[in-house]
Amino acid sequence: MEEKGNKRSFGGLKLNTALLQVLERQGYETPTPVQQRLIPVLLAGTSAVASAQTGSGKTLAFLLPALQQMNPDALPVTNHYPRLFILSPTKELAQQIFEVSMPFVRKLGFRSVLLQGGGKRNEESRKLEQGVDVVIATPQRALEHIEARHIDVKGLKHLVVDEADMMFDMGFVSYLEKIFGMMTERSQKVIVSATITPRVVKLAKAHIKALRRIELDPPGKIADSVTQMLYPVVKSKKSALLAWLISSENLKRVLVFVRKKELADGVAEALRAWDYKVGILHGERMHQERRKALRAFREGEYQILVATDIAARGLDISDLDVVINYDIPHVKHDFIHRVGRTGRAGKEGIAMTLVSPEEIEQLKDLQKVLGSKIKEVILPDYAPKDVKSRGYLMQPPQRRRRTPKPDSKKGASSPLNKKGKKRKTTKRDGFKILDASRKTEKQNSRGKKRK
Ligand code: ADP
Ligand code: MG
């Protein structure tokens, strides 16, 4: 950690002693690739649009250089406007960034405030009037305070927009335009996401003169540590399959994504009927309910959280080893973010996607993003009849291959056994999915024989 000049250590990245101490105390040992790349660039005051895959450590990559550049000695004691402004598209992510930043902010003697709507406006205003250094906010609420002159955007030294492309998806771009428009050229602007879209780059170019584009991973890359499985399923059997997967695979902490709010309620109800403890997170719920659901899920009180895509962005939930897509999201790149809630910081993760025949067109569209990484698992009790042996995406119309015998090399390969490599032994070895997939193959071949 103390090693100087070596970007593979935090010390070598020229972070100051106070920040290094907090990093050490928090158990961060070596910087991730995006931190190695971005921290020096941002410490030099450069504005940047940066993309790196989900779970790669972007938060500290934008946070630490900004905090370091804010010189605490130059501060009046009270009544000053914030100098670092971090915008997040969702309240939950704003809250998380606030929590991640807290130990660093405290150590440097700064004050920070979280502005995220849902009541407490007066309390927020009071804090802003007393003077703060760091503001973490959702865009709409931020603008309310800017318009009430609690925040002076002209005086801002650093602006960070996290999950920038989601700002467009959520219709927040006019807020961003306004905020960018009010800032001076000298201020540093940093825009990050795992999926930077052309619209984001266009917005950045319109407002930032000297802009660096930093691309750690190809846009939309899914971490190699995530293993994906696709389950063809009859639409009416989705909830039953979901419950079956959770119980038969003994899944401990499961994040289920659905497209629509109503569906979230319905799926949660179906799971509760199976006696699961289930939380719900979607935009129609009250702020307090959203907070409670996420907290209870983080703390393990709920085994399952059923959420819409608002929970797909940025959330870092420890020990979340399985994401289940109940359907395919409206916005293609949301799939990457959904799946990116697992397999974070190099840990292994599993993403299961349930697809009914009605969604085949969307699936084909999505396949461009997925590449050939996805393995289809056909469960005869749930799969539509006509895909029982072939799967939806069955790679090239295969040379009429017979259904593999369970003990043949191919038939025995499991969905977790990526690229035919021998699996390392992991804590996930308890996963019965290996057996399940073998059973499936067996059942498949039996089913065939019976016909
Ligand atoms: P991203 O924003 O790229 O999706 P996050 O910033 O949320 O990723 O970080 C993902 C996870 O990695 C978090 O749990 C975080 O604590 C962890 N993490 C970040 N930086 C490091 C590091 N240098 N060493 C180990 N873990 C890290
Ligand atoms: Mg993030």
Angle (nearest 5°) at CA 223 between 220 and 227 = 115
Number of Cα atoms under 13 Å in the Cβ half of residue 121: 11
**Ligand 1, pocket-test mutation among 35, 190, 344, 347, most atoms within 8 A of CB:** 344
Contact at 8 Å (CB) between 423 and 417? Answer: yes
Per the domain annotation, does 104 fall within a domain? yes
CA of 227 to the centre of ligand 1 (A): 19
Q: Work out whether strand 158-161 and strand 84-87 pair parallel, antiparallel, or are unpaired.
A: parallel
Per the domain annotation, does 432 fall within a domain? no
- If asked whether residues 200 and 264 sit together in one domain, one would say no
Q: Let me know if 201 is exposed, middle or buried by CB neighbors in 10 A (0-12, 13-18, 19+).
A: middle
- If asked whether residues 164 and 258 sit together in one domain, one would say no
- For residue 117, the model assigns a pLDDT of 77
- If asked whether residues 190 and 296 sit together in one domain, one would say no
- If asked whether residues 234 and 206 sit together in one domain, one would say no
Three-class DSSP category at 240:
helix
Contact at 8 Å (CB) between 151 and 145? Answer: yes
Atom of ligand 1 nearest to the CA of 28: 24
Give CA–CA dist 58/62, Å, rounded: 6
Judge whether residue 368 has pLDDT over 80.
no
The closest alpha carbon to 223, from 120, 333, 336, 82, belongs to 336
Per the domain annotation, does 417 fall within a domain? no
Give the 3-state secondary structure of 34-88.
HHHHHHHHHHCCCEEEEECCCCCCHHHHHHHHHHHHCCHHHCCCCCCCCCEEEEC
Give CA–CA dist 370/378, Å, rounded: 18
pLDDT digits (tens, 9 = 90+) for 119-159: 688 899 999 998 899 999 999 999 999 999 989 888 899 99
Nearest-ligand number for the alpha carbon of 340: 1
Per the domain annotation, does 439 fall within a domain? no
Per the domain annotation, does 194 fall within a domain? yes
Q: How confident is the model at residue 73 (pLDDT cuts 50, 70, 90)?
A: low
Atom of ligand 1 nearest to the CA of 59: 6
Q: How confident is the model at residue 392 (pLDDT cuts 50, 70, 90)?
A: confident
Q: Let me know if 202 is exposed, middle or buried by CB neighbors in 10 A (0-12, 13-18, 19+).
A: exposed
Atom of ligand 1 nearest to the CA of 162: 2
Phi, psi of 160 (to 5 degrees): -120, 135
> Does the CB atom of residue 221 touch ligand 1 within 6 A?
no
Per the domain annotation, does 405 fall within a domain? no
List the domain range (segments joined by +) for residue 322.
Answer: 226-388
Q: How far is CA 58 from CA 38, 64, 176, 347, in A?
A: 9, 10, 20, 16
> Does the CB atom of residue 58 touch ligand 1 within 6 A?
yes
- For residue 388, the model assigns a pLDDT of 61
Residue reference for tokens 């191919």: 410
Q: Which of 331, 355, 388 is the last residue of a domain?
A: 388
- If asked whether residues 184 and 245 sit together in one domain, one would say no
State the CATH number of the domain containing residue 44: 3.40.50.300
Number of domains in the chain: 2
- For residue 76, the model assigns a pLDDT of 58
Per the domain annotation, does 289 fall within a domain? yes
Atom of ligand 1 nearest to the CA of 23: 23
Q: How far is CA 206 from CA 83, 193, 231, 445, in A?
A: 22, 18, 43, 59
Residue 135 pairs with which residues in a beta bridge?
A: 85, 113
Q: What's the whole-model pTM score?
A: 0.86
CA of 270 to the centre of ligand 2 (A): 31
Give CA–CA dist 373/119, Å, rounded: 44
> Does the CB atom of residue 445 touch ligand 1 within 6 A?
no
Per the domain annotation, does 164 fall within a domain? yes
Q: Cα-Cα-Cα-Cα dihedral of 315, 33, 110, 178, to 10°? A: -70
Number of Cα atoms under 13 Å in the Cβ half of residue 22: 19
- If asked whether residues 187 and 319 sit together in one domain, one would say no
> Does the CB atom of residue 341 touch ligand 1 within 6 A?
no
pLDDT digits (tens, 9 = 90+) for 175-187: 999 999 999 999 9
- For residue 310, the model assigns a pLDDT of 94
Q: Which of 364, 388, 412 is the last residue of a domain?
A: 388
Q: Furthest-apart CA pair in the chain: how many Å?
A: 82
